[in-house]
Amino acid sequence: MKTIAAFLRLVRWPNLVFIVVTQLLFYYCVLQPTIGVNLKLSLPIFGMLGLSSVLIAAAGYIINDYFDLNIDQVNKPDAIVVQRFISRRWAIFWHFIFSSIGIVLAFYVSWELRNPIIGFANFGCVILLWLYSTTFKKQLLIGNILISLLTAWVILVLYFAEMRISRFDDPDYILAFKNVFKYAVLYSGFAFIISLIREVVKDMEDREGDDRYGCKTMPIVWGLQASKLFVGIWTIVLLASLGIIQVIGLFKGWWIGVLFSLLAVIFPLIMFLLDLKKAQTPSDFHRLSSLIKGIMLAGILTLLFFKWYL
């Protein structure tokens, strides 16, 4: 049981559940109501696409811990799984199995949908996650931006899976697909920005171990105050964008959705901004990282209101 629990920690099971919830909500609350009976992405194919996303993400977490063993012994020694509960050889084995199944499923979905984008893009995600773990995460901003883009891809992959170029001469389909594009950009943009914020906050939390092993993350290269300024600016950009969206929602009469967004997303973001200024210790930044994760979940849950309003 200890090994099973450790393995679940290794693959970050709460994050995998988050991927599943995000894709399910976008599928049922945006794609189905917008496209309707002509939905190309059938439930079985959607399930295989979602499983591909989850397996590739799990493989990414495994390989990240595999290469981060030394750093994690400094930053979070009590949370280490690789080598303590699961050998490095088995970690590589599970990374290979999960990645392989995820890629095969993605190419099968591509074949079923007659859409090559999905297979090659998910194959690219596996390569990028490996490169992130070995190289990019130790470099200034590159790793942060890469993980943020991959987080946004969790939503964008559904948009590209539903895309049907053969129906671009159908005015009704074009109108519906424009709406899907609008919501895909809205939520993938939210996912990108808030993930970028969280990645830099995590770098601030882990700066001691990262510095010891030669990483060039933002807090190490620019310093703590400059990193806080970077996070603060992006938080203000996100708040301003969300504020504009709430005004649009009020004009549409989406009162309950706006109220939920204010209480669960915007106000916590303001609290995050205030607490960021005072944060100094790794435990302070860990709390901020957890807060951002909660805000991200609340933001994704606003998809439920599209099921209601659409």
Is the pLDDT confidence value at 1 over 70? no
What would you report as the CA-atom Rg of the chain, rounded to the nearest whole angstrom? 20
Instruction: Pick the more confident residue, 33 or 164.
Output: 33
**What are 148's two structure tokens?**
């943020």
- Dihedral sign, CA of 211, 83, 290, 304? positive
**What are 63's two structure tokens?**
């390989």
Express each pLDDT in 237-294 by its tens digit: 999 999 999 999 999 889 999 999 999 999 999 999 999 999 999 999 999 999 999 9
Is the pLDDT confidence value at 79 over 80? no
Torsions phi, psi for 86 (to 5 deg)? -130, 125
Residues 6 or more apart in contact with residue 145 via CB below 8 angstroms: 196
Confidence of residue 98 (pLDDT cuts 50, 70, 90): very high
**Residue 180 β-bridge partners:** none
List the helix and strand counts (H, then E) for the chain: 16, 0
Least confident of 21-25, 67-71, 257-261, 265-269: 67-71
Confidence of residue 62 (pLDDT cuts 50, 70, 90): very high
Express each pLDDT in 216-239 by its tens digit: 999 999 999 999 999 999 999 999
Mean pLDDT score, 172-192: 89
Is the pLDDT confidence value at 38 over 80? no
Express each pLDDT in 124-176 by its tens digit: 999 999 999 999 998 999 999 999 999 999 999 999 998 876 566 677 778 77
Contact 133, 149 (CB under 8 A): no
Mean pLDDT score, 79-88: 84
pTM: 0.94
pLDDT of the residue at 177: 82
CA separation, residue 300 to residues 129, 176, 224, 271 (Å): 23, 21, 30, 19
pLDDT of the residue at 54: 98
- Output the average pLDDT for the chain: 92
Please spell the DSSP secondary structure of 185-225, one letter per residue.
Answer: HHHHHHHHHHHHHHHHHHHHHTHHHHHHTT---HHHHT-HH
Half-sphere exposure of 147 (CA within 13 A, CB side): 24
Percent of the chain with pLDDT over 70: 97
